[in-house]
Every structure is written in C-alpha cells, then in structure tokens.
C-alpha cells in the first residue's frame, strides 16, 4: 500500500506534522511564513530521512556540532528539503505556492490537508490586548485560503486546528462562516471538538479545537481517539534526568544525569542516545529571582499562586496592580504544567522551574518536553525563536492520536 500523502499549512515548527509522520504519513509539502520555523522543519525532515535509511549517526553528529546545518541538508535529497515552502499564504502568494506544490506531486492525489492558521485573531488573550478586539485583523479570514487548498487538491479529509477562542470569536461568526464555506465546497464537517492534550500523554493542561472534514455529503461523527492514563508528574517523570541549570546557563549539548524512566520510554521522548541538546535558560535579574523564590515557596508549601499586588512594595515595578495579577507562575511539579504559549519567548515569568534549588525559568528543552517533543527534535534560530516555535506548536503526542484516527478512516474508505 502506498503511503498516505498530506500537505501541512501554517506548519510552524511541525508539531502536528510530527504526529502524522510517526503514523506513516508522507508530507508532500509544508507551508510556513517563518524562516526559522522552516529551518526547523527542514532539519526535522533530514532526521526522518536519515532514520529511515539507518543513518541516524549523521543527524546526531549535527546535534553535537560536528557538522554544519548546510552539510546535514546536503546529505538529504534536495526534493525533501525543498518541500518546505517558506512563504506567507495570501492572495498575492497562493498561486505561486500551488505551483511549487504541484511540482512535488507525482500524481494529483493528496489524501489529507492539515494545519491551523495563526491563532492570535481568535485567542481570548489576543482579543483582550487589541483595542479593536481583532475585528480588522486579516488573520480572522485565513481559513478562506485554507479552503482554496481544499478546492485545488480535493483531499478525502482535512484537519483544522486552533485555539478555544475560535468557538466564540466574533460572536461565533468566524466559526459559522468557516463551516458553511467548507460545506459549500463539498465537505461534510464533523462537530468541532475540543481535545485535551492531557488525555493523550502530554503533561500539560492544553485544550485545542479540532475540526475534521470529509469530502462528500455523507454525514460523519468526529472520530474516537485512543486516550491514555496520565498520572505522570512533571518533575518526577518529565524533568528528572536533565542536569541542573543556573539562570542564563546554556548546555547546548549535555549528558543525561539518570537512566531512562517509563514515561520517557513509552512516549519515545528519549531516543536511545546518551545526550540531549538545547537545555538552555535565560538570564534573570536579582529582583526577578527574588520574586521567583517567593512564587516557588508559596506554590510548594501552600499550593497557591501569589498575586502581583501581594509582593513587597520594593519588588513592584508596575503601577497597574488591578489587572494581570498572575504575572508569575510556577510549573506544577506534582501534576501537569499549565499551557505553554508563545509568550514564553518574551520572558520566563509565567514558567518558573518548581525547585528552590534552581531558581530560574524553564529551559528550551524543558518547554519542548512539556509540549511532548522528543529530545532529538532540534529548534533552529536560537533560544528566543525556539521558545516561540515551541509555544505555538501542537503537541506531537496529541497529533499522533489524531493521525492514527485519520489513518483508520482513510484506509477504511
């Protein structure tokens, strides 16, 4: 049986795509406007190619800075690297993107289109920060371009992912228009469903809206996804084997401090090699470190999060003590993390490491693990860009369950 083919739109760093590749799908193309995220996608495609050809050592040489990125990419067939299309999806660019994808198709068959437009226009936080409530934001209507890809390539199914705010944005007008548009071009759309990443092995309280459409008029229900028991804990099961860090410390390549455990093995977070990359955290000033210490102490001893207006006056620098009082937040060590978002790229206040002996914000690798990225996943572009890519991503473990359900539907049709 030939591999099931898909196109990933608004691909980001490839969290959604990673789940589909692990389920045996073949990516025809990834389309993404961020150059750094595109570089991450190319490096990840290089990993998959080399793994399939039993040449993982070459990839690990890159992770250990023994060969350059350009040398790594040259080892991989050009058509794989070139399948990552670095462009914004817009009326100006869409025909050119179609042409580039057409060149990569050895037939007109595309089984699936996946992806979700940038979420700021639908997110509750985005709306609260914008004086116009994002009403005039062009990102509200990127789903119309998504539909143009459905019209051109006619996949049997599509998977559209976005934030919870999509369900209410614009008094539900965007969601209604979206579904009507998909139906008008020949797709039956299952009831939009909220998935909780925790139910699929991710140690994070993260919920996302998933819309799945099937080509044709046959009505169908949202597919059932296999859930897993998830009693694992962030500090004991997810962070336990990573070296201790000081604020600002960068362990670009480092050894694990403890043997693999059941969680890291079952989820394939650790891949059998004896090193890990991008265990890097940001520098903090003395004031922030003192606040972090207060936050850690209150969480560990009282299971409470302090409010900004509870800080000693000498530590308060913001005059606004009535809004956004939860500026500082400790990751829950004995449960699951709160949602990782792209704002982690700007500061670490909302993601404080839960240990008084390591007063700092979490590292790039720790954030990646919270999002369920495997340790061999490398994020290009430096620390800040890596945090941004991780915060915007779909957790690969959740994507894996979605992919398994779509694989079953496609093979059953």
Report residue 96: phi and psi, to 5°.
-65, -40
Among the listed residues 216, 219, 168, 174, the one whose alpha carbon sits nearest the alpha carbon of residue 194? 168
Q: How many Å apart are CA 284 and CA 280, to the nearest integer?
A: 13
Beta pairing, strands 26-32 & 275-280: unpaired
38 is catalytic: no
Of 31, 41, 46, 119, catalytic: 119
Q: How many Å apart are CA 370 and CA 233, to the nearest integer?
A: 11
Helix axes 35-52, 56-63, angle to 10 degrees: 140
Among the listed residues 379, 377, 320, the one whose alpha carbon sits nearest the alpha carbon of residue 344? 379
**Helix or strand holding residue 405 (H, E):** helix 396-412
Among the listed residues 5, 22, 269, the one whose alpha carbon sits nearest the alpha carbon of residue 114? 5
Query: Bridge-partner residues for 254, per DSSP?
Result: 276
CA atoms within 13 A on the CB side of 349: 16
Among the listed residues 332, 281, 284, the one whose alpha carbon sits nearest the alpha carbon of residue 305? 332
Catalytic residues: 119
């Amino acid at each position: 049986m030939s591999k099931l083919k898909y196109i990933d739109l608004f691909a980001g760093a490839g969290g959604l795509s990673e789940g589909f590749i692990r389920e045996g799908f073949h990516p025809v193309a990834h389309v993404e406007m961020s150059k750094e995220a595109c570089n991450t996608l190319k490096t990840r495609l290089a990993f998959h190619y080399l793994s399939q050809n039993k040449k993982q050592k070459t990839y690990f040489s890159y992770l250990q800075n023994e060969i350059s990125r350009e040398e790594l990419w040259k080892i991989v067939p050009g058509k794989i690297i070139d399948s990552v299309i670095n462009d914004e999806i817009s009326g100006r660019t869409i025909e050119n993107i179609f042409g580039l994808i057409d060149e990569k198709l050895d037939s007109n068959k595309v089984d699936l289109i996946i992806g979700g437009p940038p979420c700021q226009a639908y997110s509750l936080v985005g709306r609260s920060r914008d004086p116009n409530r994002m009403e005039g934001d062009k990102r509200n209507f990127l789903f119309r371009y998504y539909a143009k890809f459905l019209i051109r390539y006619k996949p049997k199914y599509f998977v559209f992912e976005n934030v919870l705010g999509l369900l209410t944005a614009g008094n539900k007008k965007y969601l209604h228009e979206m579904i009507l548009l998909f139906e008008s071009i020949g797709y039956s759309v299952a009831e939009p469903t909220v998935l909780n990443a925790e139910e699929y092995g991710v140690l994070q309280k993260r919920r996302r809206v998933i819309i799945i459409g099937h080509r044709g008029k046959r009505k169908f229900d949202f597919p059932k996804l296999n859930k897993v028991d998830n009693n694992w804990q962030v500090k004991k099961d997810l962070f336990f084997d990573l070296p201790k860090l000081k604020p600002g410390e960068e362990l670009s390549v480092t050894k694990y401090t403890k043997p693999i455990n059941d969680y890291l093995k079952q989820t394939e977070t650790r891949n059998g090699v004896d090193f890990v990359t991008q265990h890097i955290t940001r520098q903090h000033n003395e004031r922030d470190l003192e606040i972090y210490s207060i936050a850690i102490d209150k969480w560990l001893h009282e299971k409470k999060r302090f409010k900004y207006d509870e800080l000693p006056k000498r530590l308060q620098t913001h005059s606004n003590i009535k809004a956004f009082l939860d500026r500082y937040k400790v990751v829950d060590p004995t449960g699951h993390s709160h949602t990782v978002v792209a704002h982690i790229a700007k500061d670490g206040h909302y993601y404080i490491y839960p240990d008084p002996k390591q007063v700092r914000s979490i590292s790039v690798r720790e954030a990646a693990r919270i999002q369920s990225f495997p340790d061999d996943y490398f994020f290009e572009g430096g620390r800040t860009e890596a945090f941004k890519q991780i915060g915007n991503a779909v957790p690969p473990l959740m994507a894996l369950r979605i992919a398994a359900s779509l694989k079953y539907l496609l093979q059953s049709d």
